[in-house]
Amino acid sequence: MFTFRRSLVACGIAASILSPARAQNITTPPGRPGYVNAAAVNATRIDPHTPASSFVFQIPPTGADSTSVFMNPTLGRTGNSNAGGNIRFPANGGTVLGLREASTFGGAFAAQAGPNVGQVYKYTILGNPPLAGGTTNIATNIDEISWTLLNDNGTVFKTLPFAPFEALTLGSPNFQTARYSSAGSPVQFADAVQRAEFYSSIQSTPGWHTNLAPTVVNRVNITVPYWVNVLFPNGTVVRARSFFTGTASDGTTFVLMLDLLFEFLFDNEVVNEIELGNFSTDGVNMTAFPNTYLFSLNMSNPQSPGDCCVLGFHTYFYDNAVPQDRWLTIYESWISPGIFGGGFQDVTALSHEISETFNDPYIDNVTPNWQFPGQPHGSTVCQNDLETGDPIEVLSNATFPVTLGGFTYHPQNEALIPWFGMGSSNAIGGAYSYPNTTVLPHAALPCGS
């Protein structure tokens, strides 16, 4: 095991004690649901034993957009993005050389349209090569987080346990099997998507599967202060609200949390689980939260939430060892009904992040620069990565209802690799999305088309 030290870039918190307790609720989240691409984290720079109250959050002085979770895809982290990016899979595919990691395989596709037509894009995918067949069972280590939210006088305002959502999460299509057209027998949701994606390759190896084997490895309660202190680029320290709460249609409480605070708590919690041996390099590691969504700092009014709301992200933690250890890690939240529209509820975020972890485990699978669906002609709202959930999250029919055990879940449809190739599709039935093959009726458009 390695020795941790705290990064001076990641920022801490300081709770303020004022006179009367005054917890403030909101009626609805002040923004649309979405996701963020989080940079990799150097685990050796995170000290899980340092009291949070010893630090003040610092805004990176990189412009006004640096405070926005939507405009700043690294959540304010610096120096960690694409860690070890020079370590790639061997030319003939297979497990990544130089890493201690979960089972992966390599592949590639060529752009069929756009300014980079003919360019080959390599990728690393979780699991075994489709042509090799066989089943890959991936340990899935789940750390369940509950919150104790404080008033500004230090008394307890509210507790948000994860316990009410544990059985539903474990019973969801992400971990239990259901019938999909890409398999002859019931399979897990992400496995069904992968089989659809590589459908032409698995006809000679129909037994190819990538399964998640979930285990709850810890149940943790974290106390959250009412205020945090934030250092602005001009040297001014301001007091900002760290969370806001509201009520879902089923009566459960949701919490909006300042992304700077959440990053600190999340990074330290993951490192704690690594130290305890609960998170492993050969599996997928998850932190599961109860109705917890992120907002960015409101620079003009720190007493109200800024851009909102991030529902999840996937990343990996790494160390400085040779070979390098990598812990694939997901933040996801259970979503109670009535908080967001568009069918975003229960395991929408979990399914989104699992499929993206499968298809872009090290957040460095580059694609042609694609335009988000539904944008007007010439739009430059674009991305250039193999994040399979992102193109669909913006659509009105983003989710795919699946009923198991009498409960109807809402996992998210996913874009398939051929969509990113901007040409014909060799996926199931020539599709570009799955399980609903009509969500993306054609391949991606080049950025600015």
* Rg, the chain, Cα only: 21
Per-residue pLDDT for 19 more than 70?
no
Question: How many CA atoms lie within 13 Å of 193's alpha carbon, on the beta-carbon side?
Answer: 32
Q: What is the DSSP string of 129-143?
A: -GGG--EEEEEEEEE
Neighbour count for residue 233 (Cβ, 10 Å): 14
Residues 6+ away with beta carbon under 8 Å from 293: 29, 33, 254, 255, 256, 257, 308, 309, 310, 311, 333
pLDDT in tens, 253-299: 999 999 989 998 999 999 999 999 999 999 999 999 999 999 989 88
Per-residue pLDDT for 75 more than 90?
no
pLDDT in tens, 371-401: 999 889 899 989 999 999 999 998 999 999 9
Q: Under a CB-based contact definition with an 8 Å cutoff, are residues 447 and 382 in contact?
A: yes
Helical spans, DSSP H, in 277-325: none
Q: Under a CB-based contact definition with an 8 Å cutoff, are residues 331 and 71 in contact?
A: no
Backbone φ and ψ for 190, nearest 5 degrees, come out as -65, -35
Distance separating alpha carbons of residues 52 and 135, to the nearest angstrom: 43
Distance separating alpha carbons of residues 287 and 449, to the nearest angstrom: 38
Distance separating alpha carbons of residues 370 and 381, to the nearest angstrom: 9
Per-residue pLDDT for 352 more than 90?
yes
Q: Under a CB-based contact definition with an 8 Å cutoff, are residues 17 and 56 in contact?
A: no
Task: Please state the pTM of the whole predicted model.
Answer: 0.89
The backbone region for 98, taken as left when phi is positive above 0, alpha when psi lies in -120 to 50, beta otherwise, is: left
Q: Under a CB-based contact definition with an 8 Å cutoff, are residues 255 and 111 in contact?
A: no
**Tokens 């003919």 belong to residue:** 118
pLDDT in tens, 195-233: 999 999 999 888 999 999 999 999 999 999 999 888 888
pLDDT of residue 188: 98
Strand 402-404 with 135-150, pairing: unpaired
pLDDT of residue 20: 32
Q: How far is Cα of residue 424 from the mean position of the Cα atoms in its chain?
A: 29
Residues 6+ away with beta carbon under 8 Å from 220: 143, 144, 145, 146, 269, 272
For residue 418, the one-letter residue type is: P
Gap between the terminal Cα atoms of the chain? 50
pLDDT in tens, 46-56: 866 665 555 67
Q: What is the mean pLDDT of the chain?
A: 85
Please give the structure tokens belonging to residue 174: 């992400």
Q: Under a CB-based contact definition with an 8 Å cutoff, are residues 87 and 324 in contact?
A: yes
Tell which residue, 105, 22, 112, 40, has the closest CA to residue 77.
40
Residues 6+ away with beta carbon under 8 Å from 388: 193, 355, 356, 359, 360, 414, 415, 416, 417
Please give the structure tokens belonging to residue 428: 């199931």
**Tokens 């205020």 belong to residue:** 227
Which residues on adjacent β-strands are paired with residue 121? 109
